[in-house]
């Protein structure tokens, strides 16, 4: 009797389970789909981001140049005093020959605006190198103005009414004429890599920012790596567990999660106002970035020390080494690839850091290439921020291109970190 | 002699110290049968000498550098004519600045009075003397140190133990630096905040509903009320952090579940680093993306659907911050899920649960504390995020829950108050530090709670 009941109820359960099975399998598939979708959505965000940046910025690696036929008029250039000649006038004359019918002053100014203001300096350099050409007509390629550049790259919407775009019908006709005569072409934009910042988009480059970033990272690395490794070694190998080390540990973990802008406030209050270090200088940004990266280097360093097998320590003690000798000769070399790898990742993070650097005055417009650690300079991410805030489309293009350069740097660094970690794993 | 030259000299003396100490060690043991008679290896005698050569000199050098300009300036000021010295403090500060500018070779806006020019010359000559004196003192210190240590070097000198003691002290100093950083942050933020709270009372700051930091310079100036109520800013911060969490938490947790419970090894090895890229992209890039791609897209979508979206909306900034945090939430949840013992899953599966039932009813509840800890850390990150919101969220302090409007956050306000010209006595600049204090305290509390939760959970299964 009892047995039968049991049998019956079991059949009931099996039926119930079977009845619900389809529903449950559907649920299972749905759940699995959600997981897959989450990954797909995240990855599509990533590709959207990368594609939009590449699409916006790849054209910045090209620059439109215009060929001018310049008559090196002996009336304008005095052979004995090359520096004082009015080279802009020569450029203007050459431009006037494109459209001789221009007479009104405003139209003339527009025509002169087709090429970059740097044209005169390029001509001056040319004349200085080729004194014998004075008096003849020469052909010279000069950078076009940023607006013409944007037009040639197709970034200007010609369907918009004339008043809402930066190129009017008149200028359009001139450019068409230049195109027809083959006097305009796109070349590789060397300026972008060799120049500092500029108010003129066609003359702006990232060299100053890259140098600034380099100096800042040198300071950061030379401070935070030795200090970070030393702190990690102390906490992992020497410290006895007591309240003090506990405080230090909790402190380091918390510092790793403090918003970076707070470090910027610290830099402003201590390094600039209290110590009186110069504003906008790579030293100060290096110091601030060192403080930001220190906690993560310590944490990473400790975990790679922890992965060194204890047998190595015991063997080293066994042959009579002191504790410092054990660490310096045996444990540290083993842990070093792992430590370097986490340091590189921290440096990559520091290289992309912007907010704290705004606090210490890195936002100034600086056209010169910094030559040292105390020169006013900017860094690559801040340069991107400054260009991104500009209303001119030409600067947005430059910002995208600078982002590409920054991302390539970061990818190389992260790749190096992965490689080091592999070496580290292999050794064990 | 500039500081760089001094440091180079010091460096060379230190290196020389190493060789002198080492050769001294060789020579004292020569009679007793070579280096084996020494207590330590000759290397340690050299290092000991160079440490004693460098450290005291470096301490003197840094102290000197720290106080030199103040001391010299005091001496110069004391020699100034009486009519300048009796000026009020503010004017006196200008004079000091002028002198400093002349000394450093900057252009000075006003014409220089002969007295100030004389003072600047005096300053320069004093500086020269100080530098020479410093050079002499440092060289003397190193010489004395080398001589003293060399006298002490005997075969029984326990050089290695000395060196190791010093190295250990250095290691401790490095570890303690983290504590000093925290103290530095707290002191610098607190000091300026207290100055701010002397101008604006704490309760008006914490409970005020209006934020317009433009201080009136003249009493009748329009649009410069100088109200410092932090509520709308905190509200805006929370709105953006909330939107970010709506994006990051489901996407992060679901992708972590899929990667750790469903995906095979190959898929995991490829996708995990790809998601990791999202976390290693600099925030300024995200800001650019938010301001130039996402915000216009949202605005356009709003136009099509027929409601107005401001060009800098909370939604754009929030969504992009959320995207940035997906891998962060993901990897912390991944850790938590992986820490759940396999036996729990096996138990649930053997009872006939499907995989999703196992995950929902067994794995997730077991991993919940770790996941919650991770989410709290992500909230703290979202609150502290600066560049994305600076570039995409706007500046106006609205008290609104509408994600399509522009809001402002604590970090945006800090940046906009401190970038550009600053004078360090106005409430406007000091307000940034008060906001920094709020940000620091809020994220600190979140971090402490999150880290405690995570640690407790780890201990549970370990």
| For residue A410, pLDDT beyond 90 | yes
Query: Is B96 within the bounds of a domain?
Result: yes
pLDDT band at A1 (very low <50, low <70, confident <90, very high): very low
> How high is the pLDDT of residue A366?
84
| CATH number for position B334 | 1.10.3720.10
> 3-state DSSP call for residue A71?
strand
Q: How many domains does chain B divide into? A: 2
Residues B108 and B231 grouped into a single domain: no
The answer to whether A258 contacts B444, with C-beta atoms less than 8 Å apart, is yes
| For residue A315, pLDDT beyond 80 | yes
CB burial of residue A99 (10 Å; 0-12, 13-18, 19+): middle
> pLDDT 10s digit of each residue in chain B, 462 long?
567 788 888 899 889 989 988 888 888 887 777 777 888 888 888 888 888 888 888 888 888 877 777 788 778 777 777 777 777 777 777 777 777 777 766 655 556 677 777 777 888 888 888 888 888 888 898 888 888 888 888 888 888 888 899 999 999 999 998 889 999 999 999 998 998 898 888 888 888 888 877 655 555 555 555 678 889 899 999 999 999 999 999 999 999 999 999 999 899 999 998 998 998 999 999 999 999 889 989 888 888 888 777 777 889 999 999 999 999 999 999 988 998 899 999 999 999 899 999 999 999 998 988 899 999 999 999 999 999 999 988 777 777 777 788 888 999 999 988 886 666 667 788 889 999 999 999 999 999 898 888 777 665 554
Residues B271 and B351 grouped into a single domain: yes
Query: DSSP assignment, residue A238?
Result: I
Q: What percent of chain A has pLDDT over 70?
A: 97
**Long-range contacts of B402-406, Cβ-Cβ distance < 8 Å, separation of 24 or more:** B402/B314, B403/B239, B403/B243, B403/B313, B403/B314, B403/B315, B403/B318, B404/B298, B404/B302, B404/B307, B404/B308, B404/B309, B404/B310, B404/B313, B404/B314, B404/B315, B405/B310, B405/B313, B405/B314, B406/B310, B406/B311, B406/B312, B406/B313, B406/B314
User: What is the distance of C-alpha A119 from the center of its chain?
Assistant: 29
* CA gap A284, B422 in Å, rounded: 18
Residues B392 and B265 grouped into a single domain: yes
pLDDT band at A427 (very low <50, low <70, confident <90, very high): low
* CA gap B355, B368 in Å, rounded: 18
- Domain holding B65, by residue range, is 3-157
**A254, A322, A418: residue with CB nearest B160:** A322
- Spell out which residues of chain B touch residue A235, defining contact as CB-CB under 8 Å: 175
> How high is the pLDDT of residue B184?
92
Query: Is B276 within the bounds of a domain?
Result: yes
Query: Is B394 within the bounds of a domain?
Result: yes
Residues B410 and B320 grouped into a single domain: yes
Residues B146 and B230 grouped into a single domain: no
Please list, in sequence order, all residues whose beta carbon lies within 8 angstroms of the beta carbon of residue B134, skipping any fewer than 6 positions away.
Answer: B6, B60, B61, B64
> How high is the pLDDT of residue B460?
59
Residues B131 and B250 grouped into a single domain: no
The answer to whether A34 contacts B254, with C-beta atoms less than 8 Å apart, is yes
* Single pTM value for the model: 0.88
Mean pLDDT along residues A2-13: 65
How far does A324 lie from chain B, in Å, by closest CA?
Answer: 7
Query: Is B183 within the bounds of a domain?
Result: no
Chosen for mutation from A37, A50, A52, A261 (greatest number of chain B CBs closer than 10 Å) is: A261
Mean pLDDT along residues A24-48: 94
Per-residue pLDDT tens digits for A138-160: 888 888 888 888 888 888 877 77
Q: How many A/B residue pairs have CB atoms within 8 Å?
A: 256
Domain ranges of chain A: 62-188, 206-427
* CA gap A304, A331 in Å, rounded: 10
> How high is the pLDDT of residue A5?
61
Task: Please tell me the CATH superfamily of domain A206-427, with its number.
Answer: MetI-like (1.10.3720.10)
Which A residues 118-137 touch B at CB under 8 Å? none
Residues B351 and B436 grouped into a single domain: yes
H or E segment and range at residue B178: helix B159-199
How far does B80 lie from chain A, in Å, by closest CA?
Answer: 24
Query: Is B73 within the bounds of a domain?
Result: yes
Domain edge (last residue) among B157, B181, B207 = B157
Alpha helices in B111-158, H assignment, sequence order: 114-152
Per-residue pLDDT tens digits for A180-226: 888 888 889 888 999 888 888 888 999 999 999 999 999 999 999 99
H or E segment and range at residue A68: strand A62-71
Query: Is B120 within the bounds of a domain?
Result: yes
Mean pLDDT along residues A391-409: 92
Which B residues 400-459 touch A at CB under 8 Å? 411, 414-415, 418-419, 424, 432-433, 436, 439-440, 443-444, 447-448, 450-451
Q: Taking the C-alpha atoms of B187, B188, B191 and B196 in order, what is their torsion angle to the nearest 10 degrees? A: -140
- What phi and psi, each to the nearest 5 degrees, are found at residue A181? -85, 0
* CA gap B318, B315 in Å, rounded: 5
ipTM of the complex: 0.90
> How high is the pLDDT of residue B112?
67
**B354, B381, B448: residue with CB nearest A28:** B354
User: What is the distance of C-alpha B371 from the center of its chain?
Assistant: 27
A16 touches chain B (CB under 8 A): no
Which A residues 354-413 touch B at CB under 8 Å? 354-355, 358-359, 363, 381-382, 384-385, 388-389, 396, 399-400, 403, 406-407, 410
> How high is the pLDDT of residue B221?
52
């Amino acid at each position: 009797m009892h047995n039968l009941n049991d049998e019956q109820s079991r059949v009931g359960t099996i039926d119930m389970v079977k009845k619900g099975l389809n529903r449950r399998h559907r649920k299972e598939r749905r759940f699995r789909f959600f997981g897959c979708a989450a990954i797909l959505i995240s990855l599509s965000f990533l590709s959207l981001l990368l594609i939009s940046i590449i699409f916006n910025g790849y054209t910045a690696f090209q620059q439109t140049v215009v060929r001018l036929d310049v008559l090196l008029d002996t009336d304008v250039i005095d052979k004995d005093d090359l520096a004082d000649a009015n080279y802009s006038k020569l450029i203007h004359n050459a431009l006037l020959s494109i459209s001789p019918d221009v007479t009104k002053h405003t139209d003339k100014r527009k025509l002169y605006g087709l090429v970059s203001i740097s044209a005169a300096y390029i001509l001056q350099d040319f004349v200085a190198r080729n004194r014998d050409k004075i008096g003849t007509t020469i052909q010279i390629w000069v950078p076009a103005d940023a607006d013409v550049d944007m037009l040639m790259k197709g970034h200007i919407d010609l369907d918009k009414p004339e008043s809402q775009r930066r190129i009017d019908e008149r200028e359009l006709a001139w450019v068409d004429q230049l195109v027809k005569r083959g006097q305009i072409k796109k070349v590789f934009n060397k300026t972008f890599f060799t120049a500092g910042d500029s108010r003129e988009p066609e003359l702006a480059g990232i060299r100053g920012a890259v140098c600034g970033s380099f100096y800042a990272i040198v300071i950061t690395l030379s401070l935070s790596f030795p200090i970070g490794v030393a702190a990690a070694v102390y906490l992992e190998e020497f410290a006895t567990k007591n309240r003090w080390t506990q405080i230090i540990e909790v402190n380091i973990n918390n510092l790793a999660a403090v918003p970076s802008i707070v470090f910027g406030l610290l830099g402003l209050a201590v390094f600039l106002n209290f110590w009186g270090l110069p504003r906008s200088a790579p030293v100060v940004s290096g110091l601030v970035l060192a403080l930001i990266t220190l906690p993560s280097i310590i944490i990473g360093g400790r975990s790679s020390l922890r992965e060194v097998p204890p047998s190595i320590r015991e063997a080293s003690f066994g042959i009579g080494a002191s504790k410092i000798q054990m660490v310096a000769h045996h444990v540290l070399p083993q842990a070093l690839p792992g430590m370097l790898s986490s340091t590189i990742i921290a440096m990559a993070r520091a290289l992309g850091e912007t907010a704290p650097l705004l606090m210490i005055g890195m936002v100034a417009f600086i056209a010169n290439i910094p030559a040292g650690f105390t020169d006013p300079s900017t860094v690559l991410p801040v340069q991107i921020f400054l260009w991104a805030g500009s209303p001119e489309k030409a600067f947005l293009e430059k910002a995208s291109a600078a982002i590409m350069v920054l991302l390539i740097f970061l990818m190389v660094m992260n790749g190096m970190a992965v490689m080091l970690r592999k070496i580290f794993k292999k050794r064990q | 002699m500039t500081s760089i030259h001094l440091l180079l000299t010091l460096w060379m003396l230190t290196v020389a110290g190493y060789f002198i100490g080492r050769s001294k060690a060789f020579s004292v043991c020569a009679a007793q049968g070579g280096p084996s008679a020494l207590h330590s290896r000759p290397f340690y005698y050299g290092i000991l000498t160079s440490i004693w050569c460098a450290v005291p000199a470096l301490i003197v050098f840094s102290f000197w550098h720290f106080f030199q300009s103040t001391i010299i300036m005091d001496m110069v000021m004391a020699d100034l004519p009486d009519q300048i010295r009796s000026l009020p403090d503010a004017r006196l500060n200008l004079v000091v600045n002028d002198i400093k500018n002349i000394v450093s070779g900057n252009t000075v806006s006003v014409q220089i009075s002969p007295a100030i020019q004389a003072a600047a010359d005096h300053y320069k000559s004093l500086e020269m003397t100080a530098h020479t004196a410093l050079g002499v003192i440092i060289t003397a210190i190193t010489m004395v140190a080398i001589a003293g240590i060399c006298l002490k070097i005997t075969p029984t000198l326990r050089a290695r133990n000395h060196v190791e003691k010093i190295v250990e002290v250095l290691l401790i100093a490095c570890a303690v630096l983290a504590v000093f950083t925290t103290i530095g942050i707290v002191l610098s933020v607190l000091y300026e905040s207290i100055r701010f709270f002397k101008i604006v009372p704490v309760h008006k700051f914490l409970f005020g509903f209006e934020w317009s930091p433009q201080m009136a310079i003249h009493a009748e100036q329009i649009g410069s009320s100088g109200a410092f109520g932090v509520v709308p800013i905190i509200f805006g911060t929370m709105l953006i952090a909330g939107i970010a969490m709506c994006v990051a938490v489901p996407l992060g947790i679901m992708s972590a579940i899929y990667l750790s419970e469903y995906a095979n090894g190959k898929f995991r090895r490829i996708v995990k680093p790809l998601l990791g890229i999202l976390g290693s992209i600099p925030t300024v890039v995200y800001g650019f993306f938010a301001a130039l791609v996402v915000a216009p897209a949202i605005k356009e979508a709003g136009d099509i659907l027929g409601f107005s979206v401001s060009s800098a909306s909370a939604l754009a900034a929030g969504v992009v911050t959320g995207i940035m945090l997906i891998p962060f939430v993901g990897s912390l949840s991944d850790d938590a899920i992986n820490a759940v013992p396999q036996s729990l899953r096996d138990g649930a599966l053997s009872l006939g649960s499907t995989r999703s039932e196992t995950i929902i009813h067994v794995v997730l509840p077991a991993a919940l504390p770790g996941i919650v800890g991770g989410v709290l850390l992500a909230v703290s990150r979202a609150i502290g995020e600066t560049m994305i919101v600076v570039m995409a969220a706007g500046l106006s302090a609205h008290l609104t829950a509408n994600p399509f409007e522009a809001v402002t956050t604590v970090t945006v306000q800090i940046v906009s108050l401190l970038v550009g010209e600053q004078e360090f006595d106005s409430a406007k600049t000091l307000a940034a530090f008060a906001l920094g204090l709020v940000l620091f305290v809020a994220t600190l509390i979140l971090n402490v709670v999150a880290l405690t939760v995570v640690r407790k959970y780890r201990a549970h299964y370990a």
